[in-house]
Structure 1
Amino acid sequence: MYRLIWFVICFFCLTSCKSSKEFTGFSYDPVDVTNTNDKELDPQPKRIIGADSPKVWVSNEFDGARANDFYALNDSTFEVYIAPENAPINNSPWYAFKIWSDTVRMAKIQLNYRDATHRYVPKLLSWVQADSSWEEQWELEVEYDSTNGTATFDVLLANDPIIISGQPLHTSSKLKKTLWDREIIGHGFVKVREAGLSKLGRPIWELDITEVAEDQKAPVLTLVGRQHPPEVTGYLASLIFLEELTSDSELAKKFRQTFVVKAFPMINPDGVDLGHWRHNAGGVDLNRDWSNFNQPETRVIRDALSWMKNHDLRRMFYAIDFHSTNENLFYPINQEVKTTPDDFTQKWVGRIIENNPETEFRIEEFDTSSPIAKNWFYNTFGIDAITYEVDDSIDPEQLDSVSRSAANLLMELLLEEWEKSILEN
């Protein structure tokens, strides 16, 4: 098994060469993505729109919503038109809207996108009074038209609104409650502080998790999440990691007595709450701004961590940037690049694959030229780091089991590497 794993890793290492050319974007990036100065937005008008008679209503008047217009195509089919915050933009068309009807009826809903084709399977969310929240009830079966990129589904409508969204809603105002509900915060060894503010003044929260004394030398693990608003499965994986890091297990206790964890679960709260496809309120892909730092969100993380460079008591050791895509995908730094600790990601990924044989993973190594989060960690601290991508449509039980496995394997290996570094020095 190990031979197969290392064959895959070595293959990608050999086929992913370092480049001396100026980075202008990955193959899936739009033109000008590395220009991270503010770009003009095309805000969606917040409103309630009615169509047909008796009326079917759609609203985008809530955090996380995205629905630019609404039409009746005929007496049973309705179109929701969805446009991005600005363009050009990656094919990550987020949508979320409330919908209801004056009468009980079946309706066919067609999602029509500008500058994109359908990506996220629609989820039906209904209001749960006991929890005072919108919770996912089920996924809807979709008929996809590959010619025009639309998606169509049937739904039963009534007077009580439901929400149709690309992923479950996890907006910025819910973050601290979610951390409490998951028992991530509320411990004596977890401190929560406002690291800074987003472009529109929303707080960016930092969690400091450790049982190490302030005057004791300790390595640091950093977790970053939600740079891209619709990438909810990666965000949920990061929360499961935090659950394991703050658990009562003997491994977690030993880890906290050795390591400091710095976690930033949601660094693009504006984009999340505005229902953006990918960008922040400056119209910029934050994960291309880790060189120029033109946007306040990336500056917040930089300023919260840079003081540890060459610090006597706190040594940055490893970093994970959580995302989502259409598969479970690891983006390590090229194995040929010397990091401290060296080849950590390749070792960790190998263990994840071995311990989760029922889950399909892919590995794609990259050089350190692009202005993305993991490369900033390497270029600033000399450490290894990874972009950790979770399948958009992963089964919730599989997401839970893989994330817990990966988190515990991470703690085990980080402890091994730290002990090794102490012996070597």
Structure 2
Amino acid sequence: MYKYFQVVIVSLLIVSCKSTEEFTGFSYDPPDVTNTKDKVIQNQARRTIGVDSPKVWISNEFEGARMNDVYMYNDSTYEVFIAPENAPINNSPWYAFKIWSDTVRMAKIRLNYLDATHRYIPKLQSWVQPDSAWKQQMELPVQYDSATGTATFEVLLAPDPIIISGQSLRTSSDLLSNLNKREILGEPFVEINEVGQSKLGKPIWELKITEAKQNEKTPVLAIVSRQHPPEVTGYLASLLFLEELIADNELAREFRETFIVKAFPMLNPDGVDNGHWRHNAGGVDLNRDWENFNQPETKAVREALEPLKGSASQPLFYAIDFHSTNENIFYPINEEVKTSPDNLTQLWVERVLADNPEVEFNVEEFDTSSPIAKNWFYHTFGIDAVTYEVDDQISEEHLEQVSRSAAKSLMKLLLEKWEKTSLEN
């Protein structure tokens, strides 16, 4: 009877914390963002275009590319047009194209986003033969025109192609090899399973990490990443988290012996591979589809995790949704909203800030009315969850430092909270 009243009280708390106003979008969202039924998208024509004489060649014929057209603006400037998959859309103009020249020359490239404005600093990537991979070499200084939203930069061209992109290329075909290189796959306590398929039939992968005994009550940590294609730094942070979770040390082993991790490292493979700014192949922002579940990618996660609802043996305990933006920021659930365990994110953030005093972070609490992943975890399981945003321009050093230390402090905190929860019950 006591347990029954506990369930009733928690249910009433969840209902009472819902906003009475219907969510229509954040301030940066376009109109109709919460309508997550399929919308028409405009696929870019895959082609290689030659301009000028001797020729300068620009191509989008590779995975992750976004380049819609190019024209010779004047004798030394080439204007590259970048259009979104559909509109209206969040201002996250992703671009990636190969460029080379029949002769060695300096050239100016002007990026024109039509109705959007420049966001990502151009990264120059070249082909590294020993690694058989494209590797980032440098960031290119840009001149930004606030009146037109365009960005112009200079680059040395030669017959060997280079790639210019908003962030490093991290496509769906690289995922499994990347997980292998990081030694995340191959451990006996790591399983990988296809839990669904994207709009275009690409696998949605789930990693399960645990060394817990089967007959023991085992809490679950859920991790989601790459709902938005250009948000590469958040994706890389999630992979660094996974590296720490599978590490060969006392803390990680204790965590794996106590917890199950269920991670979905690339939820939007279609958007990533087709160079989308924001949406999946259905033209939808996946992080607004956690109420109606009209898209197959969000459905796959729901169907993988919903069996844990009310589970006595494997209760969902905490969840993280990794993203990127123009700053390092945590978006916790409002402190006054009762979660189980309560305000875990706020406690974790305190430790992250203490461990990384030289890195700037912001914290902005939100209510639970929006149809985003974090709020679905709360409304479905009554747990705390966080949207963890990583700065677009974070240095590699700080990305690794913060991600690894945050993963360690989270493991410690979750172990402490689970022990306390177990003693109370």
Instruction: Report how far residue 18 of structure 1 moved.
Output: 6.9
Q: Deviations over 1:347-367 (max 9, x none)?
A: 000110111100000011001
Give the alignment of 1:183-198 within 5 angstroms. 183-198=183-198
Partner of 2:7: none
Structure 1 residue 249 displacement after superposition:
1.3
Q: Is this contact kept in 2: 1:94–1:275, CA < 8 A?
A: yes
Alignment gaps of 5+ in structure 1: 1-16
Give the conservation status (yes or no) of the 8 Å contact 1:49–1:57: yes
> Matched residues in 1 for 2:215 and 2:308: separation?
14
1:213 deviates by: 2.2
- Number of the residue aligned with 2:32: 32
CA distance, structure 2, for counterparts of residue 195 and residue 174 of structure 1 = 19
**Cα shift at 1:75:** 1.3
> How far is the alpha carbon of 1:19 from its aligned partner?
3.6
Is the partner of 1:314 in helix, strand or coil?
A: coil
Which secondary structure does the structure 2 equivalent of 1:408 belong to? helix
The 8 Å contact of residues 268 and 297 in structure 1, kept in 2 or not, is answered as yes
Match for residue 304 of structure 1? 304
TM-score by length of 1: 0.95
Which amino acid in 1 is paired with 2:125? L
Could you tell me whether the CA contact under 8 Å between 1:224 and 1:321 is conserved in 2? yes
- Which residue is equivalent to 2:338? 338
Listed one character per residue, the Cα deviations across residues 170-219 of structure 1 (whole Å, up to 9, x for unaligned) are: 00000000000011111000001111100000011110000012222100
C-alpha contact 1:84 1:114 (8 A) present in aligned 2:
no
The aligned residue for residue 215 of structure 1 is: 215
Q: Aligned partners of 1:28 and 1:215: how far apart in 2?
A: 47
Partner of 1:225: 225
**Which secondary structure does the structure 1 equivalent of 2:262 belong to?**
strand
Residues 397-412 of structure 1: pairs in structure 2 closer than 5 A: 397-412=397-412
- d(CA) in 2 for partners of 1:176 and 1:114? 35
Write the letter of the residue equivalent to 2:323: H
Q: 2:275 corresponds to which letter in structure 1?
A: G
- 1:346-365 equivalences under 5 Å are 346-365=346-365
> Aligned to 2:385, what secondary structure does the other structure show?
strand
Conserved in 2, the CA contact under 8 Å of 1:343 and 1:384? yes
Superposed, which structure 2 residues align to 1:44-193 within 5 Å? Answer: 44-193=44-193
SS of equivalent to 2:235: helix
- The 2-side partners of 1:58 and 1:176 are apart by 29
Identity of aligned residues (%): 72
Distance 1:294 1:76 in 2: 47
Q: Provide the rounded CA distance (Å) in 1 between the counterparts of 2:413 and 2:144.
A: 43
- Three-state SS of the structure 1 residue aligned to 2:341 is coil
**Structure 2 CA distance, aligned partners of 1:18 and 1:316?**
20
**How far 1:78 moved relative to its partner?**
0.3
2:13 aligned residue: none
Q: What residue identity is the alignment partner of 1:180?
A: N
1:422 aligns with 2:418: no
Question: Matches of 1:113 and 1:58 in 2, distance apart?
Answer: 17
Describe the SS at the equivalent of 1:270: helix
- Cα distance in 1 between the residues matched to 2:255 and 2:54: 60
User: Aligned partner of 1:107: which letter?
Assistant: A
Q: Distance in 1 between matches of 2:133 and 2:254?
A: 36
Counterpart Cα distance in 1 of 2:260 and 2:90: 35
For residue 377 of structure 2, what is the aligned residue in structure 1? 377
Normalising by structure 2, we get a TM-score of: 0.95
Once the two structures are superposed, what CA deviation does each residue of 1:107-162 show, in whole Å capped at 9, x if it has no partner? 00000002210000000000011111111011111111111111110000011100
Q: Match for residue 12 of structure 2?
A: none
Q: Which amino acid aligns with 1:105?
A: R
Q: Distance in 2 between matches of 1:223 and 1:36?
A: 22
1:80-105 Cα shifts (integer Å, max 9, x gaps): 10000000000100000000001110
In the alignment, is residue 255 of structure 1 matched against residue 255 of structure 2?
Answer: yes
Q: Which amino acid aligns with 1:392?
A: D
SS in 2 for 1:242: helix
Q: Which amino acid aligns with 1:223?
A: I
Aligned equivalent of 1:394: 394
CA distance in 2, matches of 1:60, 1:255: 44
Stretches (4+) displaced over 3 A: none
* Alpha-carbon separation, structure 2, partners of 1:367 and 1:114: 34
Q: Which amino acid aligns with 1:91?
A: N
For 1:407, what is the secondary structure of its paired residue? helix
Residue 12 of structure 1 corresponds to: none
The 2-side partners of 1:214 and 1:99 are apart by 54
Q: Within 1, Cα distance between the matches of 2:198 and 2:178? A: 20
- Confirm or deny: 8 A CA contact 1:100 1:157 kept in the other structure: yes
2:413 aligns with: 413
Residue 287 in 1 paired to residue 275 in 2?
no
Do 1:182 and 1:243's aligned partners in 2 also have CA atoms closer than 8 Å? Answer: yes
Q: Number of aligned pairs?
A: 409
* Corresponding residue number in structure 1 for 2:199: 199
Residues 37-88 of structure 1, C-alpha deviations (whole Å, 9 max, x = no match): 0000011100001111111010000000000001111111001100000000
How far apart, CA to CA, are the structure 1 residues paired with 2:114 and 2:346? 39
In structure 1, the partner of 2:11 is none
Distance 1:187 1:418 in 2: 25
Partner of 2:3: none
Give the stretch that moved more between structures: 222-231 or 142-151: 142-151
- Does the Cα contact within 8 Å between 1:56 and 1:101 map onto a contact in 2? yes
Distance 2:159 2:220 in 1: 52
Residue 313 (structure 2) aligns with: 313
